[in-house]
Structures are given as structure tokens and as C-alpha cells.
Structure 1
């Protein structure tokens, strides 16, 4: 169970990440609250960059911002390809996609609540 201190740290980290993404012109930023749903982290952030170069630049700058601000080294995967970069900060997992790749995987839909006529009966 997360303590109040843990939650405030992940909230501060999330705010830093969202600011960095905004500063670097990331598009279609979606934040997903994972608390109580999974142990992988407190939040997931999904966003897009317009090109492989921008996706790589956004993720590189974000990893450096996390290191400079929190003294944490974020794990970064996929930066060389620039299609889909995963930045794992521990409390917040960030996915930076090229728009076509994001549309193909539709990652954020996995974490959204299921409701409406097409919902599976549980």
C-alpha cells in the first residue's frame, strides 16, 4: 500500500513529466491513473511526437530532466528506433509514440474502463 509520501512523490514526478512533455511539444498527452489497478507504477503517460527525431528528442530530454530533478536514472527503451520509446521512472511509465505506431497499438485503450453496449459481461 502506498504511503502519503509515496503518493506525493509520484504526483510531483508526474507533474515534472507533464511539464517536460508540454515544453517539448508532445501531442495528445494522456495520463492514466494506475493506482489500485497494477503494481507496475502509479501513473502511465502516453503521448505522441510528430517524427522519429521528435520522439527520440522528447524521451532523451525527459530522461535527463528526471535525472537532474530527482537523481533517478530512468530506464529508456526504443530510443534508437524512434517509433515507440518507453521511459520507466519507477512510479510513472511514459510511452512516446509516432502517431501511426500509437494508433496501431492503442495502448491507452487497454487501461480505460470498459462500459457501454459492447462491454463484456464480468
Structure 2
């Protein structure tokens, strides 16, 4: 539920290059990383707001939010799922996809939003 809701919120706000890294077999501290890119400081903050507000409306509150004021990389921790919202340069620099390349990575396309809305 949290995973789908995060993806839905990010897609509804036009997140770019959205992926889900399945870490259930790779890490013991998290199940999934959801990673996306925002086009500007304002867009990164809007994506973070959409995720936190959208999930709070469903009774899911983040354990921790980091980087909100800087807006180059915002991390939203829901325990089993961690959402990483980057500006393009920061995403390339930190390279989480490279770091966790042994884990399955699912690319989420824009048309997935229609399926999420139809099949909650």
C-alpha cells in the first residue's frame, strides 16, 4: 500500500526517471528504495510534499524526512520503504542505482498511474 501510494503521488506530480529497487534480498534495513528526479528545487519540494501529504491522508506518517530545506536530495523514510527525490546532478553524483545494482530494479513508466488508480 505505501509503495503504490508513493508511486502514485510521484507520478501525479510528474516525477522523472522513477525506479523501484527491491532490496528485500539484499539489505536488512529496508525493503524498497523508490528513486526519482525532480527538475528544480521547487519541483523536488513539490514531489516530497505530495508524498508526505498524500500518505498522511491515508494514515501513513514518515519516520524521518531529510534534506527538505536543501532540496537537492530529499529522503523520506517510511521504515520498509525509503523515497529518494533528487535533482538530476545529485542523483548522478550519489549513484544509488550503481550502489545497489545487484538488486532488482523496476522502471516505472507514466502509464502505470492509470493502472494504480484502477487497481488500488
Establish whether TM, by shorter chain, passes 0.5: yes
Change over 3 Å in CA distance of 1:61–1:112 after alignment to 2: same
Measure, in 2, the Cα distance between the counterparts of 1:78 and 1:50: 16
What SS class does the counterpart of residue 108 from structure 1 fall into? helix
Asked if the contact 2:20/2:34 (under 8 Å) is kept, the reply is yes
Measure, in 2, the Cα distance between the counterparts of 1:14 and 1:109: 21
Matched, 1:97 2:86: yes
Moved over 3 A (4+): none
- Aligned length in residues: 103
Measure, in 2, the Cα distance between the counterparts of 1:66 and 1:39: 24
Report which of the two has the higher share of strand.
Answer: 2
> Any gaps of 5 or more consecutive residues in structure 1?
1-11, 115-122
> Any gaps of 5 or more consecutive residues in structure 2?
104-120
TM-score normalised per structure 2: 0.80
1:18-56 superposed Cα distances (whole Å, 9 cap, x missing partner) = 111000100000100010211221110110000011101
TM-score normalised per structure 1: 0.79
Superposition map of 1:39-118 within 5 A: 39-113=28-102
Asked if the contact 2:22/2:32 (under 8 Å) is kept, the reply is yes
What SS class does the counterpart of residue 81 from structure 1 fall into? coil
Q: What's the CA shift for 1:108? A: 1.4
Q: Which has the higher contact order (CA 8 A, sep 6+)?
A: 2
1:35 counterpart (24, 45, 52): 24
Root mean square deviation of aligned Cα: 1.4
